[in-house]
Amino acid sequence: MVKSHLEITLQNTELSIKFYGKFDLYLISKYEKQISDFKLTNVKTVNLDMSNLEFLDTASAIFINSLEKDFLSKPKILNIICDNKIILDTLKLTKNSTYSNVYMEQKNSFLGDFGKNLVLRYKDFISFIEFFGLVFVAFLKYIISPKSIRFREIFFEINESAIKAFVIISITSFLIGLVVAYQSAYQLKLYGANIFIVDMLGISIFRELSPLITAIVIAGRSGSAYTAQIGAMKITQELDAMKTMGFDPFAFLVLPRIIALMIAMPLLIFLSDMMAIFGGMIISNIDLSISTELFLSRFNEVIDIKHFYIGIIKGPFFAFLIASIGIYRGLMVKDDTQSIGFNTTKSVVESIFAVIICDAVFSIAFTNLGI
């Protein structure tokens, strides 16, 4: 058996392309690169020698036919050298096929790739809207029939999403308060405006930093967990089993997680507020010589309660986005473990992006309303 390879020789204006052994689909890209490396500007005669070719599949036949059309369009003198009837019949069979050319054009077309991506994004958007519709219908069922509310599952998810997240939220928020106060203290000392660190910390932490940092941490912790849990259940066909037994996955799996996170998020934001302010208070005392009593007195005078409420109000909206995106991505998992990793990554990225967009909308709205 002759080893499969392609031999290309160029003598003056004559190009010889000789095929050896078997030529199948898996060699097309390799042979195509070999041929494209030759400059054909001065070539007048092309010899396609298939006398040593033992096997040719239809994909490779389409490729050779496309080469033939390409050489003839230059124009050049083309000689086909082949005495194998089976190979000649295969070439004849695929003579009118244009699949190879169309495929190559789409592969290298920017507009083609853009169109494909646009269609995929549109389908994803429609699928997400459908998911929101099913969630809304499930909420209506809860409202109409409160007995169907899964309180046990909700409390379990509150424990998983909130209580077990207390430590990481506390540490993260405390460090954020330390860093923000430390970076601000240097600038404030230059102008003798030490006391104004209280104003800056109170407003920025209550309104923006605590809700945003809490949401980002929860998106990475709980949102990714929702995707992995639902995705694993889909791969093991637990969701199909639930449907077969007459249980609605939205009532048993989706809504308890969404409701639990919407309840837990304001509590986590409150915890984040306290820890961040505590961290800022420590730096104010150490770096700016502002005592705890002076800090709290100034805080009570200048920080309006509305700033605290604004941060708390954002919580349920952030939680709804994080939980919904995390669960939706879990439902999009295919029947392989690699898909779990892919969708978990997408759920975290999309959740954080959605939270930032939502926060920007709140900031614009509250600013225009003078709140």
Q: Say which residue, 332 or 193, is predicted with more confidence.
A: 332
- Rounded to the nearest integer, the mean pLDDT of the chain is 85
What pLDDT is attached to residue 349?
93
**CA 253 from chain center: how many Å?**
22
Q: What is the DSSP string of 54-119?
A: EEE-HHHHHHHHHHHHHHHTTT-EEEEE---HHHHHHHHHTTT--HHHHHHHHHT-HHHHHHHHHH
Copy the structure tokens of residue 343: 């969708």
For residues 70-95, give the mean pLDDT. Answer: 80
CA distances for 47 relative to 17, 24, 53, 253, angstroms: 6, 20, 14, 66
- Find where tokens 């050319």 sit: 101
Domains located in the chain, CATH noted = 5-107 (3.30.750.24), 149-368 (no CATH)
Question: What is the C-alpha separation between 320 and 266, in angstroms, rounded?
Answer: 12
Lowest mean pLDDT, pick from 184-188, 270-274, 334-338, 358-362: 334-338
Q: Where does the pLDDT of residue 101 fall: very low under 50, low under 70, confident under 90, or very high at 90 and above?
A: very low
Q: What are phi and psi of 193, to 5 degrees?
A: -110, 45
For residues 214-239, give the mean pLDDT. Answer: 90
Q: Are 138 and 258 in contact (CB under 8 A)?
A: no
What pLDDT is attached to residue 74?
67
What pLDDT is attached to residue 71?
74
Q: What is the pLDDT of residues 1-28, one digit of tens each?
A: 567 888 888 887 788 888 888 888 878 8
Q: Which of 47, 63, 41, 44 is nearest to 8 (CA)?
A: 47
Q: What is the pLDDT of residues 276-286, one digit of tens each?
A: 999 999 988 88
Q: What is the pLDDT of residues 138-172, one digit of tens each?
A: 888 888 888 878 888 899 999 988 889 999 999 99
Q: Where does the pLDDT of residue 105 fall: very low under 50, low under 70, confident under 90, or very high at 90 and above?
A: very low
Q: Say which residue, 161 or 223, is predicted with more confidence.
A: 223
Question: What is the C-alpha separation between 170 and 167, in angstroms, rounded?
Answer: 5
Q: What are phi and psi of 346, to 5 degrees?
A: -65, -35
pLDDT at 100 over 50: no
For residues 326-352, give the mean pLDDT. Answer: 88
Question: What is the C-alpha separation between 169 and 212, in angstroms, rounded?
Answer: 12
For residues 121-130, give the mean pLDDT. Answer: 86
Q: Residue 153 burial (CB < 10 Å; 0-12/13-18/19+)? A: middle
What pLDDT is attached to residue 97?
59
Q: For the beta carbon of residue 152, count every other beta carbon within 10 angstroms.
A: 9
Q: Are 7 and 21 in contact (CB under 8 A)?
A: no
Question: What is the C-alpha separation between 26 and 60, in angstroms, rounded?
Answer: 9
Lowest mean pLDDT, pick from 70-79, 226-235, 337-346: 70-79
Q: What is the pTM of this model?
A: 0.68
For residues 354-368, give the mean pLDDT. Answer: 92
